[in-house]
Structure 1
Amino acid sequence: MHSIELLLDEAADQRVRDEWAALAAADLPSLADHAGASNAPHVTLLARPVVDPRHDEALAALLGELLPLPLATGAPLVFGRPGRGGRGGWVLARSVVPTAALLDLHRRVHELASGEGDVPHTAPGAWSPHVTLAHRLTATTLARALEVLADEEARVASPPTRASSSSDVAAAARRWDSDAREVVALGPAREA
């Protein structure tokens, strides 16, 4: 599966990594378990079997023009369905508020990267913007993961940093080519 993704600014990236670490410390599935260099907190704009690299230049120009973009992250979100044979099927994510600017960016990326086979939850009109925290959760581990996130929110909320929503920034973008196992930068570089 190929994708086009927004990367978070350094502070938001670290907050998500802290949530990954809290889940892992509780012996729960977490994206902290993925050690690959391509593993970074992100918001998927588009996912499909193939994203034609011939669109990279136009996408980079568009994203360079529209980023950085404020993001409002919010409450936990759950996708999926119960797993079979004891294997979990729930996905836990942090919701991202679909602002007019974010929806416009999403629509324009899809227009430029014309193609077929969009993963349904990334298609215009059906998109659920989010930052994934964990995969393969069972009902039991999902309940525990929500408790861990509540504890992590309480820990960082003194002084308050995340009530029901946080102001983060989409600072950069990339294209992930799963066939070549390659990340291609699109748009501005993230500041260190």
Structure 2
Amino acid sequence: MLYAIELFLDDRADRQVRRIWAALDAGGVPSLASAAGADSRPHVSLSVFDCEDVREVAAQIGPVLATASGVSLPLASLGFFVSDESPMFLGVIPSPRLLELHRAVHEAVEPLVEEVWPYYRPGSLMPHCTLAMRVADRARAHEIAARFPVPITAHAASARIVAIPGGRIVSAE
């Protein structure tokens, strides 16, 4: 089964991202909030991995995730990944503390899981907060999202393991 380790945003930043999601939805660009079957919250993923039993991962990663609160996550750019999923995102300026947390997460998780997605491995992470997936009209999506000022000052409020797809919380920090 597929899981992610996500940093949830502080309340103020969460509200700002949700406003962008709402504007995208109103403008005909389905946001992450409106994805079928999703229970998404604004977040920055530190890892995406496949494993059979997430309980062992949750037990091992708990102390690492307990250090996540307060990590700076400035949302400072608007972009798209060029892939089949064509996600639109707000890019995070990575701080040394974020990169240290990311490395600690992977040191704890990788020995316990079957596979970590390559884009989330240390040295490959491009931290971001997803706004929309499968964006067909990038110009329209950009026009809508560009109405909202960046950077958005954001901090991690908590860290969770969630099931993918859907976003069901599996464990808390």
User: Which range, TM-score by smaller chain?
Assistant: 0.7 to 0.9
Query: Is residue 173 of structure 1 aligned with residue 159 of structure 2?
Result: yes
Percent identity over the alignment is 34
Specify every segment of 5 or more residues in structure 2 that has no aligned partner in the other structure, as ranges: none
Inter-partner Cα distance in structure 2 for 1:143 and 1:131: 19
**Amino acid corresponding to residue 96 of structure 1 in structure 2:** V
Inter-partner Cα distance in structure 2 for 1:184 and 1:109: 16
**Amino acid corresponding to residue 126 of structure 1 in structure 2:** S
Specify every segment of 5 or more residues in structure 1 that has no aligned partner in the other structure, as ranges: 84-88, 154-161, 188-192
Q: How many aligned positions are there?
A: 169
Give matches, 1:10-159, under 5 Å: 10-34=11-35, 36=37, 38-50=39-51, 52-81=54-83, 89-114=85-110, 115-138=113-136, 141-153=137-149
Conserved 8 A contact 1:52-1:113:
no
Deviations 1:74-110 (CA, angstroms, capped at 9, x unpaired) = 11121133x5xxxxx4210000111110000000000
**Amino acid corresponding to residue 166 of structure 1 in structure 2:** I
Inter-partner Cα distance in structure 2 for 1:129 and 1:110: 14
- TM-score for both structures, normalised by structure 2: 0.87
Relative to structure 1, is the Cα distance of residues 179 and 12 closer, same or farther in structure 2, using a 3 angstrom cutoff? closer
Give the equivalent residue in structure 2 for 1:156. none
Q: CA RMSD in A?
A: 2.2
**Amino acid corresponding to residue 88 of structure 2 in structure 1:** L
- TM-score for both structures, normalised by structure 1: 0.79
Tell me the SS of whatever aligns to 1:53.
helix
What's the offset of the Cα at 1:180?
10
